[in-house]
Amino acid sequence: MPELPDITIYIESLESRIADQRLEKIRIASPFLLRSFDPPIDEAEDKQVLRLHRIGKQLVWQLEHELFLVFHLMIAGRFHWKSRGAKIGGKFNLAAFDFPNGTLLMTEASTKKRASLHLVKGESSLAGFDRGGLEVLDASIEQFREALVKENHTLKRTLTDPRLFSAIGNAYSDEILHRARLSPVRLSQKISDQEITRLYAATQETLREWIGRLRTQTASSFPEKVTAFRPEMAVHGKFKQPCPACGTTVQRIVYAENECNYCPRCQTEGKILADRSLSRLLKGDWPKTIEELEGNPALNKSVRSSGPTRC
């Protein structure tokens, strides 16, 4: 799912192409995309785009006459900038938005059809899309601390909770926690002031660095390859690969449709976090430390080659 750095680049790339442009036509290809009916979607046609911004992970186009298009790309939704009048055929295409200078295609490479589009009227109508999470790049350390300890959950869950922190998801939470050298399963109300300071700095640095990196990579082109798995990432998506900081093999725990990647030496004091299904299967044979894992080749292979499990 596109997170804060990716959405920032989407907004900047769209601003240079559609800000102050007239939205000539909206072509809806998927009946699952449009989640609102009043006002009707054709009311947004022939309206000028006045401003683009985001609410959490949702992109908002402000149009004339107090109309707002709200996009949620979810996991597999993406934007693609094409020549004006581009065809909308194909099983992944959800909609096309025609402008005088080009067409924006919205796609979703998934059969679950979770991406959504709403058209609402009036600024007050946007309140329902705001989950209330803190905008971390604008926050002081005091505001960060308050949000962090508001509820007592694991750091991984806390950072990705849209009610607590805005637009941080699975990928960048892994990168933030690795930089902060904190375990993803530490409880948010059980960490020290020094660790909170370290986590705040890691959050600021990680997100700002990735925004800068994506800006450089995109330059004046449109971001066509938005992905949660990038070769420059330290641990996210790097299961079985060496940690760039210490060389220890990156481990993972998998839950629901997400997985958490971490370095046991940098983040968990050498402990291997229990993956609920696999550790239950192996019972007493489950490795508790790096040394136990690396000292048993057969067990090492079993743990490393395990498919998606739940924890």
What mean pLDDT is predicted for residues 11-34?
A: 97
**Straight-line distance from the first to the last Cα atom of the chain, in angstroms, rounded to the nearest whole number:** 21
Tens-digit pLDDT profile for residues 118-154: 999 999 999 999 999 999 999 999 999 999 999 999 9
The single-letter code of the amino acid at 39 is P
* Pairing status of strand 47-55 against strand 93-99: unpaired
Q: What is the pLDDT of residue 310?
A: 30
Q: Is residue 118 part of a domain?
A: yes
pLDDT at residue 277 greater than cutoff 70:
no
Same domain, 117 and 24: yes
Same domain, 246 and 311: yes
Q: How far is CA 298 from CA 95, 287, 295, in A?
A: 50, 12, 9
Same domain, 169 and 206: yes
Residue 209: both structure tokens together: 């660095």
Q: Is residue 227 part of a domain?
A: no
Dist CA 26 CA 104 (whole Å): 10
Q: Which of 156, 183, 218 is the last residue of a domain?
A: 218
Q: Is residue 294 part of a domain?
A: yes
Helix (H) or strand (E) holding 9: helix 4-18
pLDDT at residue 168 greater than cutoff 70:
yes
- Total domains in the fold of the chain: 3
Same domain, 206 and 276: no
Q: Is residue 197 part of a domain?
A: yes
C-beta of residue 45 within 8 angstroms of C-beta of residue 25: yes
Same domain, 65 and 141: no
Q: Taking the CA of residue 39 as centre, how many other CA atoms within 13 Å lie in the half-sphere pointing to its CB?
A: 15
Same domain, 19 and 105: yes
CATH of the domain at 98: 3.20.190.10
What mean pLDDT is predicted for residues 296-307?
A: 49
Tens-digit pLDDT profile for residues 210-224: 999 999 999 999 999
Tens-digit pLDDT profile for residues 226-246: 999 999 999 999 999 999 999
Q: Which of 186, 218, 250 is the last residue of a domain?
A: 218
Same domain, 66 and 92: yes
Tens-digit pLDDT profile for residues 64-105: 999 999 999 999 999 999 999 999 988 899 999 999 999 999
The answer for residues whose C-beta is within 8 angstroms of residue 89's C-beta and 6 or more apart is: 29
Whole-prediction pTM: 0.90
Same domain, 24 and 9: yes
Q: What is the pLDDT of residue 288?
A: 62
CATH of the domain at 154: 1.10.8.50
Q: What is the pLDDT of residue 281?
A: 38
Same domain, 51 and 166: no
Q: Which of 164, 189, 218 is the last residue of a domain?
A: 218
In terms of residue numbers, what domain contains 95?
A: 4-129
What are phi and psi for residue 216, nearest 5 degrees?
Answer: -65, -45
Q: Is residue 226 part of a domain?
A: no
Same domain, 43 and 94: yes
Same domain, 166 and 249: no
Q: How far is CA 239 from CA 4, 258, 283, in A?
A: 23, 13, 22
